[in-house]
Structure 1
Amino acid sequence: MPSAAATNRRSARFLVSPSQRLDRRMKFASISGPRARLASCQGIVRAGLMFTRGVFTSPWFRHSSGPVFRGKSVTILNAQFVSHVGRLVLEDYVELQGASQLGISFGENVSIGRGTMIRPSSYYGGEAGVGLRMGDRSSVGAGGFIGCSGWIEIGNDVMIGPGVRLFSENHAFDRLDIPIKEQGVNRGQLIIEDDCWIGSGVTVMSGVRIRRGTVVAAGSVVTRDTAEGSVIAGTPARLLRVRGEDSVA
């Protein structure tokens, strides 16, 4: 049997209206006064508009459980290939192409930043790409590009900074007798395990596995697998140190 204290906590939660709970979330720490209250109100209005758009979006998804917050001018093509569990935030100008062999799947509390493009396939037909799976509590910053024509898997609690580019396909270019664009592509996979931080402007190439707990410095180009808990930087990226150990640079 639940304790009386637990029962009282649940009862108190239900006495708080959704608008009051949203107001608490939208408050800014360390600032107060009329300007802070105005900022909170603006945030509530924005969230309300995004939620309203999301209500009309989620029925088109393959599977939808939890609220969708859709920013302005978000483009979603082939939504029947997209699924999510829990809250999904698509900020302004996100471009999401769903058509893919394995679909596009988002976990709980996922956020896709302003202007990010997720493209497994061409908009004009041709061979469908493979797809994307993104775990719980992971996020992509503004201006990202996820080229999941091969398979891309992003784990739980992954932070991906602004302007990050993820690729799971490379052009073939060995022959000299025909143009590169006529030589086709080589599809691979790109795996980012749990609890990684990918800094701003990073490029990760096809075939790479970024192991759990890795930190990738801003602007790096990752061309090979990383060790668990490593800190890497550079073009191409190299090991600086392992978290919890002394520097090896």
Structure 2
Amino acid sequence: MVKLVSKIISKIKHREYIIDENITDNDLFSIVFTRFFMLIRGFFATIGFKKRGKISFIGKKVCIKSKSHIECGSGLTINDNCTINALCKGGIKIGNNFSLGQNSIIECTGVIRELGESLVIGDNVGISANAFISVRGKVKIGDSTIFGPGVSLFSENHIFEDKSIPVYLQGATRKGIEIGKDCWIGANATILDGVKIGDGCIVAAGAVVNRDVPSYTIVGGVPAKTIKNR
């Protein structure tokens, strides 16, 4: 059974996938059973997408708003209790084999007087549980990038120069966020508006990134500073 399931997963992901030999048949059956119902939900939940791939897996209590703004490839996985509000000017474009961990939120618009810009996610991107992605400026995440649990992206900054006017009335800047290919963003890291992270970077757990990170650089701390190059 293990070999059969490995072959099926490899075909879906278009790359070799070998299940750990220590997994029991009972455990594997339970996983396959769960994924089967996710597949059924995926078929119905993605009806209304602007474009959808052949296979999608959707967990329980997933809320997807403004579906007509979403384009996704095959192998989409959205785990339990996730919320996606896709209402934005340029929509959401998701590549193949994207995974969104449970209890995560993708929020493309906060107020309807000013819609967010767009979100582009490459192939083979994995976002772990409890992520929060705020799409106000443009957000781009490159191929094969992975997020640890609790990562947050904020692509907007409030203006607060005039003390006589409440902050929420002073407007905001939206420079956007760009994360390159093959990056690892550690648990509970925060990426702020205007940041560009190059290819192959590692952001340490708990870091707050408020400036650009050159390719193949490891950063950490609050605010994030270079630790070393890869």
Q: TM-score, normalised by structure 1?
A: 0.85
**Which position in structure 1 is the counterpart of 2:184?**
197
SS in 2 for 1:102: strand
CA displacement 1:35-88 (0-9 Å, x = unmatched)? x11110110111001000011122210111221100000000000001111211
CA contact (8 A) 1:89 1:111 kept: yes
RMSD between aligned residues: 2.3
Within 2, Cα distance between the matches of 1:45 and 1:64? Answer: 23
Larger radius of gyration: 1
Instruction: Give percent identity, aligned residues only.
Output: 31
What is the alpha-carbon distance in structure 1 between the residues aligned to residue 149 and residue 162 of structure 2? 36
Whether the aligned pair in 2 keeps the contact of 1:93 and 1:115 (CA below 8 Å) is yes
Give the distance between the partners of 2:54 and 2:123, measured in 1 at CA: 13
Aligned partner (choices 82, 88, 92) of residue 104 of structure 1: 92
Name the residue aligned to 1:136: 123
| 1:7 alignment partner in structure 2 | none
The 8 Å contact of residues 53 and 70 in structure 1, kept in 2 or not, is answered as: yes
Paired AA for residue 108 in structure 2: P
Change (3 A) 1:19 1:220: closer
Question: 5+ residue gaps in structure 2?
Answer: none
Q: How does 1:164-175 map to 2 (within 5 A)?
A: 164-175=151-162
- Does the aligned pair in 1 maintain the 2:88–2:108 contact within 8 Å? yes
When the two structures are superposed, what TM-score results if normalisation uses the length of structure 2?
0.91
CA contact (8 A) 2:6 2:19 kept: no
**For residues 72 and 107 of structure 1, what CA distance do their matches in structure 2 show?**
22
> Residue 193 of structure 2 aligns with which residue?
206
Q: Check conservation: 2:6, 2:18, Cα contact below 8 A.
A: no
Q: Secondary structure at the match of 1:143?
A: coil
Amino acid at match of 1:149: R
| Secondary structure of 2:31's aligned partner | helix
Tell me, in whole angstroms, the C-alpha distance in 2 between the residues paired with 1:151 and 1:196: 18
- 1:151 maps to what in 2? 138
Q: Secondary structure at the match of 1:65?
A: coil
1-structure distance, mates of 2:34, 2:190: 32
Q: Are the structure 2 counterparts of residues 189 and 28 from structure 1 closer, same or farther at C-alpha, using a change threshold of 3 Å?
A: same
Deviation at 1:149, TM superposition (A): 1.1
- Structure with more helix by fraction: 1
Structure 1: 5+ residue stretches without partners: 1-15, 244-249
Structure 1 CA distance, aligned partners of 2:5 and 2:31? 15
Q: Distance between the aligned counterparts of 1:43 and 1:146, measured in 2?
A: 28
2:209 is aligned with 1:222: yes
State the one-letter code of the partner of 2:48. W
Post-superposition Cα deviations, 1:151-203, rounded to whole Å, max 9, x if no partner, equal 00000000111100001101111110011111121111100010100000000
